């Protein structure tokens, strides 16, 4: 059976179930114990599991991830929580040069199955706390990078990450923790951390996105449906390894593509998706690919200015209208 729960509760269930079934699973990070975590995912865990398994760390991201990598190499299953993805910059060397490369550099003699939980997002957090770096980590061989949207994916991916042998960048979004969705009521529910998912079928245009962008795409698709425009919505959800074949297959049907992301468009994830579709389905495109992203500026603190930086439902609708108005075959571009 399935029941409807929030993203936050789905993560909490996954962590609790894996901690109950495997004593090697430990949590570590800033304020995750007594405070319950910045986004309240680990509230109550300190009382349940004690200080040896729920470790409040100093404000030292390099030390948090470095310790977690060493623990993982020694047989533990650490979940290193970084308060936001902005702070992962301080642990970049440990993530990119150690966690990601350990297996290859030692010919499989060592693995570092560390799960790095972190949150992307914004909300009057200003320029240094509102950045979107999933593209940076998706660039790195040796890492798995997931950025799910639905509660079911959050739970299924987290459980798989804690049972697998790969280092995982598990990127959440601070603005969707309250979003609700159906999750199977099953302690053994897992999902393979691979593959994009067609969430809504349509015939006129494909919209590809992930995380919060998926919700923008779905909202835009529902509004456009009232006008007879049917959008096919694809949730990319796993950014490394990235499933561009599903997008290309959809484009062969719809002949048009809009890619939606909250990051900067220059050298972003959307660029990779667009390039892959050009390679795999160029002859099927009836219009240039439209890309939606944030304005390429440091994010302002002012609420109205901040909202102007990031895409919303209307931005996506405008992009769909733009791509539908163009036609390569009639030179109407």
In this prediction the pTM is 0.96
Query: 11: closest CA among 156, 173, 215?
Result: 156
Phi-psi region of 73 (alpha: psi -120 to 50; beta: other; left: phi over 0): alpha
Domain ranges for the chain, please list them: 2-184, 197-328
Q: Do domains 2-184 and 197-328 have the same CATH topology?
A: yes
Angle at which helix 269-281 crosses helix 245-254, to 10 degrees, equals 60
In CATH terms, 2-184 corresponds, of 3.40.50.300, 3.40.50.970, 3.40.1190.20, 1.20.120.50, to 3.40.50.970
Q: In 210-311, where do the E strands start and end?
A: 231-235, 238-240, 257-264, 290-294
Classify domain 197-328 at the CATH topology level.
Rossmann fold (3.40.50)
| Residue environment code for 122-142, b if the CB has 16+ CB neighbours within 10 A, otherwise e | beebeeebbbbbbbbbbebeb
CA-to-CA distance for 115 and 111, rounded, in angstroms? 12
Q: In a structure prediction context, what are the per-residue pLDDT tens digits for the chain, which is 333 residues long?
A: 899 999 999 999 999 999 999 999 999 999 999 999 999 999 999 999 999 999 999 999 999 999 999 999 999 999 999 999 999 999 999 999 999 999 999 999 999 999 999 999 999 999 999 999 999 999 999 999 999 999 999 999 999 999 999 999 999 999 999 999 999 999 899 999 999 999 999 999 999 999 999 999 999 999 999 999 999 999 999 999 999 999 999 999 999 999 999 999 999 999 999 999 999 999 999 999 999 999 999 999 999 999 999 999 999 999 999 999 987 766 555
**What is the set of active-site residues?**
61, 129
């Amino acid at each position: 059976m399935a029941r409807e729960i929030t993203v936050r509760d789905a993560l909490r269930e996954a962590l609790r179930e894996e901690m109950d079934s495997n004593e090697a699973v430990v949590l570590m990070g800033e304020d995750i114990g007594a405070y319950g975590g910045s986004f309240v995912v680990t509230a109550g865990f300190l009382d349940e599991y004690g200080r040896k398994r729920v470790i409040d760390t100093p404000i030292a991201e390099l030390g948090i991830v470095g310790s977690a990598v060493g623990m993982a190499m020694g047989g533990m299953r650490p979940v290193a929580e970084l308060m936001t993805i902005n702070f992962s910059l301080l642990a970049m060397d440990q993530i990119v040069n150690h966690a990601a490369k350990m297996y290859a550099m030692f010919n499989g003699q060592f693995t570092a199955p560390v799960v790095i939980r972190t949150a992307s997002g914004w909300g009057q957090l200003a320029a240094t706390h509102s950045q979107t770096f999933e593209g940076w980590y998706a660039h790195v061989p040796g890492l798995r990078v997931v950025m799910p949207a639905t509660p079911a994916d959050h739970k299924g991916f987290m459980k798989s990450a804690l049972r697998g042998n790969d280092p995982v960048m598990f990127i959440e979004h601070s603005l969707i923790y309250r979003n609700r969705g159906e999750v199977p009521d099953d302690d053994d529910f897992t999902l393979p951390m691979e593959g994009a998912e067609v969430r809504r079928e349509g015939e006129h245009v494909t919209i590809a996105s992930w995380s919060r962008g998926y919700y923008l795409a779905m909202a835009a698709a529902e509004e456009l449906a009232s006008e007879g425009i049917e959008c096919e919505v694809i949730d990319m959800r796993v950014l490394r390894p990235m499933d561009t074949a599903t997008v290309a297959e959809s484009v062969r049907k719809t002949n048009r593509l809009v890619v939606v992301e909250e990051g900067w468009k220059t050298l972003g994830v959307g660029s990779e998706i667009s390039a892959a579709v050009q390679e795999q389905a160029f002859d099927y495109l009836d219009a240039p690919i439209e890309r939606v992203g944030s304005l390429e500026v440091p994010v302002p603190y002012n609420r109205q200015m901040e909202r102007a930086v990031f895409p919303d439902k209307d931005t996506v609708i405008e992009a769909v209208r733009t791509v539908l108005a163009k036609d390569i075959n009639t030179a109407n571009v």
